[in-house]
Every structure is written in C-alpha cells, then in structure tokens.
Chain A
Amino acid sequence: MSAFVNIAPPLLNASRFRAAHEADWTRLEHLLTRIEKRSVRVLSDDDLLALPLLYRSTLSSLSVARETSLDRALVAYLEQLCARAYFQLYGVSDSAWRDLARFFTRGWPGAVASLWRETLVMAFLTVAGAVAAYLLVRADPSWYGGIVPQGLAGGRDPGASAESLRVTLYHSQDDGLGVFASFLFGHNAQIAIFAFALGFAFVVPTALLIFYNGLMLGAMIAVFAGKGLGLNFVAWLAIHGTTELFAVIIAGAAGMRIGTAIAFPGRQERMEAVVAAGRMAAVATAGVVLMLAVAAILEGVGRQVVTGDGTRAAIGTAMLAAWLVYYYGIGRRHAYCSPD
C-alpha cells in the first residue's frame, strides 16, 4: 500500500545535475542562439573565450548524464546543445582569406601535382586520339564529318579552300570579344566539371570524353595540314590551347582518380579511399575552372589581338611552362601523400 509521508522527496541525479550545471547550459544556449541568428562576430571577447570551455563542460555533462541520469528530456536537450555547439566550433572554417591563400599556395598546385600519374594517362589518351584522327582524316577526308560535329566545324572542313581556312585563323572580329570569352569559359568549365563527375562511373565516360577531345584536335589539324596551314593552325591553337587542353586533361585526371579509387582502393577501405580521392580531386577541379578562365581570356581576347604565328606560339609555350613550374615545381612539395 502507498502511504503519505512528509519527508523530503528522493533526490534524483537529474535534479542535482541540473542544479549544478544549468547556468552553464543556459549561457551556452544563449550564445549559440545569437550566433545562429547572426554570426560569430556578434559575440564579445569574453563570450568568445567562454564558448569552447562551455562546449567542453556541456559535452562532459552529456557523458555524465548518459551514464547516471534516466531523465530522457535532459539527455535529449544536452545532445542537441552539444551538436549545435559542435557545428559552430568545428563546422566553420577559420578565415575565408586564409583559406583562399592556402588554396593558391598549396591546395591547388599540390592536388594537381599528386595527380601526375593520371595526368600522364589522360595526356596520352589525348595524343593518341589526335594522332589516330590525324591519320584517319589524312587517309580519307570523309572521316572528318564523323568526328567533328557540323556546328563546331563552322566551315572548316576538308572541302574548304586554303584561302577560307586562312581567314578563320587571322581574321579578327573586334566586337563581342568579351561575350565570346565568357561564353567559352562557361561552356568549357562545365565540361571540365562534368568530366570530373563522370569519373565516378569507373573512369569509362571520362576517358571517352578525353579521347574524343583528342580526336577533334587531330581531325582539325589534319584539315589545315592538308592545305599547308598545319603550323599556322597549331600556333593559332597554342595561344590558349596549351592552357585549355592542359586544364581538360587535369579534369579528366581528377575524374580518373575517383574512378580508380572506387575500383582499386589499395590498402585503404573502399569508402575511405573514395573520400580521400574525391576531396583532393575536387580541389584540382576548382583549379581547372580557374585555368579555363585564363584560357578563355587568351582565346577570346589575346588571340584576336595577337595575329603573328611566332607571338602566338611563344605565348602558348610560356603559359605551358608557367603551369608546369606552378604544379610540378611548387606543387610537388605540397602533394598529398599517397597511402602506399
């Protein structure tokens, strides 16, 4: 039978716990609400210094509460409070400017440098495609129509006269250069991101894309070479092409790193290997987008202004040399360590 007595009620752990720490929790909750509404900058120096301490003491409260208290509401409250504090303390990068500086000095060149094997494979695919298409089109010009789509050829096909081909190389249009450059940038950068993402499908679509890029290159060279304009075309292409082709090759390499990490994770677990590859390759792809922006400026503006073959080739070579030094000279020192 239950009976009524007039003594003090049993002290629950939760009650004692609340009494001891509730002030800390309330203060942390108050700080978090302010940060979540605005940003971390609204906090005073005192609050800012107190935040990690409050977080750790609340985290320890959570551990103790889980072990000693049966008050589920208390545990649930502490869980969400700790999670919110965790997001504010660990979820935020320290400084956008410092992150950006690190991207340029280490992240980007380092990521590209550690993709060197994949980059070689993709460069080989591009060259192989170019050579194959060159030989095919030189042997039988009807191949050209099958390789280069009508829209992209723009009259530059084996049937065109040497004179009209020459015009496409040296005729400069003065209006709409900026528009042309920005269109090229958007288009190429989207293709590069696409090549990266497609690497997930065990590299196959990425490799096809890169090989096809090489095919188009070779077919175009073949058309111009057939009319004795081969070197002029290469110079026309080089001014932006060294940057652009290199960028596309790196994007392909980034995709390949993901695909191979899925297929051959090596000593790591498959998921771990994919994540390591994905994060690193994504940084390289961000760099590729910037390279393509440079290429678009060179193509849209530089090529229309500079019409000498020698100057075009010189600019193209200088750009290539600059990229190589940036990646393999500076970047190699910051290359991501391979797990093997």
Chain B
Amino acid sequence: MRTARRTKPPAARRRSFVTPEGVDLQLELGGAGTRAAAFLIDVTLMLIVMIAVTAALFALDQATRADIAKILWLIGAFVLRNGWFVLFEMGGRGATPGKRLMGLRVVARDGARLTAGAVLARNAMREIEVFLPLSFLGAQAAAGTADAFLTIFAMLWTGIFLFFPLFNRDRLRIGDLVAGTWVVQTAVRTLAADLAPTSDRPRRVFSETALALYGIYELQALEDVIRGGDGLARITVAAAIRRKAGLADDGDDDAFLADYYAALCARLEGGLLVGRRRLDKLSAVNH
C-alpha cells in the first residue's frame, strides 16, 4: 500500500512534460528532501566503495611492492568522484543507485533524449555545489595551499549554490539549470478495479435532481472514498448524499455509493460528449 503522499502528489509539484508525440505526461518533480536523501545514499555508497577498494589496493601494494596499486588508487579516486553520477545517469535507468532507491530519475526538460552533454554538465556543476567546500575545507585543514582569496570567494558562492534548489519553483540545482534537466519522481501503479457495478443485481435509479447535485470534482472525491477502504468515510458520504438528494436510507451504503457513482459518472460523461464539462457542484447545470 502506497502512502497518501505518493498517490496524491501536491499539485505544486506537477509539471507538464510534452513528449515528441505531443501528449502531456504531467510528471511529478522530486522533492528537495527526497533528493537530499538520494544524494546522501550515493555519498555513503561511494564511501563504502572507496574504503573497499582502498583496502584491496593496500593489500595488493603490500603483496607486490610495485607502483601499480598507487596508480590505480589515484585514477580510481578521480573516476569514482567524477564518474559515479555521470556513468549511472548515462545508463538506461537515468538514475544513480541512490536516486533509484528513492524512485527518482533524471530527464531532459524539453522532453527530448537525455544527452551525454547534459549529464556531464549537471554533474560537473556539482563540483562548485558540494565538493568545492569539502575539498577546500580539507585543503585548509591540511595546512592550506589553497589561495585565501579564492577560498573565501568559493565559500560565499557555495552557500548560494547549495541551497539554490530551495529558492526556485522547480527545485532545480545549478547543474539542472545549466544542463536543462529535471529530477522527476517515478511511480509504479497497478490498474485499479473498474467501479462500474456488475449487472447481476438490481440497481437503484436516481432522479434528475439527485444527479444534478454534483460535478466532476465531487465525482472524483467519491471515487477516492469508494476506493479508499475507509468504512466510516463511506458511511458519512452516503448519509450526506442521501440527505441532500432527499433519499431514504436503505441500509446498504456500499451498494448505494456504487450505484450513485455509476449513475453520476454516466451522466457527466454524457455531458462531456456534447462538450459540457461540469467541473464541480458550484458550476451551472446546462440542459
């Protein structure tokens, strides 16, 4: 069972994303917290890989007494630091292991293929966002060879860069901005059962006035209640509909709601076919 947050994403994070076929997929952006978590997972994994490789190479160094272990370590450290994000994001999944665990994925904002140039750009900018303050702090700690002016300048900028995603609507890092990418939340849903009632039982018919009460918004709220599995909510909603429509309680709330849903849905869909989209109960009923 997915959490409510997943199934009902805040509308603020929905973005239109038009495929080359011209259909808007309405993707959901990854939240700042989710992305920070994904990054921390990646950093932890990188550290683990680094420690494991260092230990292995140390053993090799002890065994062979040759330079090969040191060379491999130096090249490996560079590749790990710069290649981890780039290689994973260039792969078919468009995500590092951390992003995959958090259900995130990198996509190009314009709906086109995610190019290598874009992946390189978004991760090269990480250099000034995250690694810069870390490496400068490290350099300073190790009795600095870093230029003082450059350090101060970098620190000042880093503060802005690090928190940049919080200051814009699309949660873009500098890297996303420069590369033209987005980080989106991927979802896997199964097709929920059809709500139309089966034909083997007698069903209720409703008068025109009873069906004219509500619009599409209420219909979809009713859909959520029926699918939601919350018994109390069903009882309350059934009672509210009966009271408004002036119907007597027949003691079977679930069947009542299913019948009412089907009748209302058929009526509103009939309206759609002739171009009448009644958004909610407040909009006018056209006849």
Could you list which residues of chain A lie within 8 angstroms of chain B, going by C-beta atoms?
1-6, 8-15, 18, 22, 25-26, 36, 39-40, 56, 59, 62-63, 67-74, 76-77, 79-84, 86-88, 90-93, 99, 103, 107, 149, 151-152, 175-176, 178-179, 181-183, 185-186, 189-190, 193-194, 196-198, 200-201, 205, 208-209, 212, 258, 271, 274-275, 277-283, 285-286, 289
- In the complex, A9→B259 CA distance in Å? 9
Q: Would you call B25 and A82 a contact (CB within 8 A)? A: yes
Q: Which stretch in B16-24, B31-39, B50-58 binds the other chain? A: B16-24
Which residues on the A side are within 8 Å of B20 (C-beta)? 90
CB-based closest 5 A-B pairs: A275-B180, A278-B178, A282-B121, A10-B266, A279-B117
> Knowing A8-B199, A83-B27 touch, does A197 contact B117 (C-beta < 8 A)?
no
Known A2-B210, A8-B199, A278-B178: A179·B67 in contact at CB below 8 Å: yes
| Cβ A91 vs Cβ B117 within 8 A | no
Q: List 7 A-B contacts (CB under 8 A).
A: A2-B250, A3-B204, A10-B196, A175-B67, A201-B128, A274-B178, A283-B117
**A25 to B189 CA separation, bound complex (whole angstroms):** 12
Closest beta carbon of chain A to B209's beta carbon, Å: 11
Are A4 and B202 in contact, CB atoms less than 8 angstroms apart?
yes
Q: Does B71 contact A (CB under 8 A)?
A: yes
- Please state if A68 and B269 are interface contacts (CB–CB under 8 Å): yes
Residues of A within 8 A of B118 (CB): 275, 278-279, 282
CB-defined contacts of A81 to chain B, threshold 8 Å: 189
Interface residues of B (CB under 8 A from A): 7, 19-21, 23, 25-27, 67-68, 70-71, 74-75, 77-78, 81-82, 90, 92-94, 105, 107, 109, 111-118, 120-121, 124-128, 132, 135, 145, 147, 150, 153-154, 157, 174, 177-180, 186-192, 194-199, 202-207, 210, 216, 219-220, 223-224, 227, 247-248, 250, 256, 259, 262-263, 265-266, 268-269, 272-273
B50 to chain A, nearest CB (A): 14
- Give the Cβ gap from A306 to chain B, nearest Cβ, in Å: 20
Describe A's contact surface by its main secondary structure: helix
A189 touches B78 (CB 8 A): yes
How far, in angstroms, from A84 to B128 measured CA to CA in the complex? 32
Residue among A67, A70, A178 with max Cβ neighbours from chain B (10 Å): A70
Residues of B within 8 A of A25 (CB): 191
Contact of B187 among A6, A80, A178, A212 (CB under 8 A): A80
Partner of A5, one of B75, B196, B202, B256: B202
Nearest A residue to B224, CB-CB: A72
B153 engages A205 (CB within 8 Å): yes
Per a CB cutoff under 8 Å, which of A4, A63, A279 touches B121?
Answer: A279
Whether B70 contacts A194 by the Cβ 8 Å rule is: no
Pick the contact of A12 from B121, B224, B269 — CB < 8 Å?
B269
Q: How far is the CB of B162 from chain A (nearest CB, A)?
A: 13
Residues of A within 8 A of B147 (CB): 149, 212
Query: CB within 8 A of A281: which of B68, B90, B121?
Result: B121
Contact check, A1 vs B179: say whether CB atoms are below 8 A apart: no
**Further pairs besides A62-B23, A178-B67, A194-B127: 8, Cβ < 8 Å:** A2-B210, A5-B202, A76-B189, A182-B71, A185-B78, A189-B82, A190-B127, A285-B120
**Is B23's CB under 8 angstroms from A77's CB?**
no
A1 to chain B: which residues have CB within 8 Å?
207, 247-248
Residue contact A4 to B204, C-beta cutoff 8 Å: yes
Closest to A99 in B: B116
Residues of B within 8 A of A278 (CB): 117-118, 121, 125, 178-180
Tell whether, in the assembled complex, residue A87 and residue B266 are in contact, meaning their CB atoms are under 8 Å apart.
no
A282 touches B124 (CB 8 A): yes
Minimum CB–CB distance from A203 to chain B (whole Å) comes to: 13
Contact B202 A6 (CB under 8 A): yes
Please tell me which one of the listed residues A8, A62, A93 contacts residue B116 in the complex, with CB atoms under 8 A apart: A93
Q: Which listed residue, B19, B194, B266, touches A90 by the CB 8 Å rule?
A: B19
Chain B residues with Cβ below 8 Å from A2 are 204-207, 210, 247-248, 250, 256, 259
Known: A182-B75, A279-B118. A87 touches B220 (CB 8 A): no
Measured CB to CB, the nearest residue on chain B to A184 is B74
Q: How far is the CA of A81 from the CA of B202 in the complex (A)?
A: 35
Q: Quick one: closest A residue to B272, CB to CB?
A: A68
Q: Which of B68, B191, B195, B247 contacts A22 (CB 8 A)?
A: B191
- Report Cα–Cα, A4/B250, bound state, in Å: 11
User: Once the chains are docked, how many angstroms separate the CA of A199 from the CA of B74?
Assistant: 27
Q: How far does the Cβ of B216 sit from chain A's closest Cβ, in whole Å?
A: 6
Tell whether, in the assembled complex, residue B113 and residue A93 are in contact, meaning their CB atoms are under 8 Å apart. Answer: yes
Complex CA–CA separation, A15 to B205 (angstroms): 19
Q: How far is the CA of A12 from the CA of B265 in the complex (A)?
A: 7
